Amino acid sequence: MESAGVSKAVVVGLDPRDRETIDEVTAACGSRLAAFVDLAPAESNSAFVGEIVPRAAGLGETYVQCGSSQLPEDYLRPVLRIARSRKLPVMLHTGDFSYTAPAMMMGMIQEFSDVTFILAHMGSLAFVQDAIEVAVASSNTYLETSGMTSPAMLRRAVREVGADRILFGSDYPFWHPAVERARVENAGLDQTATRLIMGENVARLLEL
């Protein structure tokens, strides 16, 4: 974080059974780190949920597993109910494969219109136009920038969705935060949009 000039970070995909790591992350909560816990639908009634979920700033990153015959809203319903009752945003992995295409998630996003969704990687390059369309149609949706390499598509997202619903992300250790940051800061956006994306939006959303 220091080498990339990052002052605060969200740690995503934490295993809710890994209490040691959650303790380390949440001990710094409110200062430098916030925790997103990846709750499996089958575990949403487990005893540890009541203890772990109140310490989370959000849920995810998650997605419907390859080969599932269920719609995303049915597969993830137990997790979405927790997100709704706890007022926690849900981060969804998008891009790469057809089962992680943002358009697949439209029904779920619209059914759970009171839940905030974050589309990680904003569909990646393969599905970025889908991700923008879903976000335009659904005001409860944010787009996250990691791994989406096109400056032109980032500018389009700002024009069509608005800079106030785009969140900078690095997806470290998959991508380096300094590289991802350079992508956003050299995309030709104005200073206001860049400031929103680089931290003001997530600070407002997660009350960091």
Residue numbers at the binding site for Zn ion (CB under 5 A): 93, 120
HSE-CB for 59 with a 13 A CA cutoff: 28
**Torsion (CA) 183, 185, 189, 194 in degrees, nearest 10:** 120
Sign (positive or negative) of CA dihedral 67, 73, 75, 80: positive
What's the min distance (Å) between Cβ of 208 and Zn ion? 21
Say if residue 173 is preceded by a cis peptide, omega within 30 of 0: yes
What's the min distance (Å) between Cβ of 161 and Zn ion? 19
DSSP 20: H
Query: Measured from the CB atom, is 120 or 157 closer to Zn ion?
Result: 120
What's the min distance (Å) between Cβ of 192 and Zn ion? 28
Strand 166-167, strand 117-120: pairing: unpaired
Burial 44-80 (b: 16+ CB within 10 A, else e): beeeebeebbebbbbbbbbbbeeeeeeebbebbbbbb
What's the min distance (Å) between Cβ of 156 and Zn ion? 21
How is residue 101 written in tokens? 């295409």
What's the min distance (Å) between Cβ of 61 and Zn ion? 5
Smallest CA-to-CA distance from 6 within 122, 169, 149, 151 is with: 169
What's the min distance (Å) between Cβ of 100 and Zn ion? 8
